[in-house]
Structure 1
């Protein structure tokens, strides 16, 4: 493809939380080699965490998003931060409903967070709420800014 003077647009690849350790290692190696602009961790899951298995609709086909995905997606985020050695921007998503949730993603390696289900249920009012809570988390733990907290739980 031909691009204008500004070059190609940033390329972010979104990965699923259902990948094996070997898959994550391969993706990290390719992302580093190709110098991707970032990875979004993670998409919906086709698995059904124990917390939702008792719900009658949990047997429906399709991706699961929201709070039940939080731990799984945060684990994959932490793995990818370690595998990429913090050299690629990571966008943490999956179950973020509060500033504390966003903070856990940041401490696990996210430089940005993405809301979907939390925004769908919380509406625009969730944004200033998350920002205020996130600020409190940073202050509580002695960080001057978000960049200082990125990957803190992986070091």
Structure 2
């Protein structure tokens, strides 16, 4: 192995661990811990992509349809999603967000961003500039 390959492998290892730790810390900045991360992910997908069938939601979340059915049932019981008849397929329903879900998602994002903003404020302007560049690079890596 070349020195460059070893350096890249070491960077991949260190970056993977740092991203995992950071992600865990960010996920822990919760407003309502009674809503699971799986439920929040499904709600976020609905917010990002709009109302959809449970099958479409399962595909977006990369889970099996029966698993998503359980998630939808739990979210509906909490008043966070609605089921309406599909406009063209009488066998299907469309899952959409309620106002309570919109509020929850806004509060969750606000809590995480407040925590992160506080952490960023403790850094020097130079380190914040490095993180700004790193965020762009990570976005590029995620897209490719």
The TM-score bracket by the shorter chain reads under 0.3
Question: Greater helix percent: which structure?
Answer: 2
Q: Give the alignment's TM-score, normalised by structure 1.
A: 0.25
Q: Which has the larger radius of gyration?
A: 2
**TM-score (normalised: structure 2):** 0.26
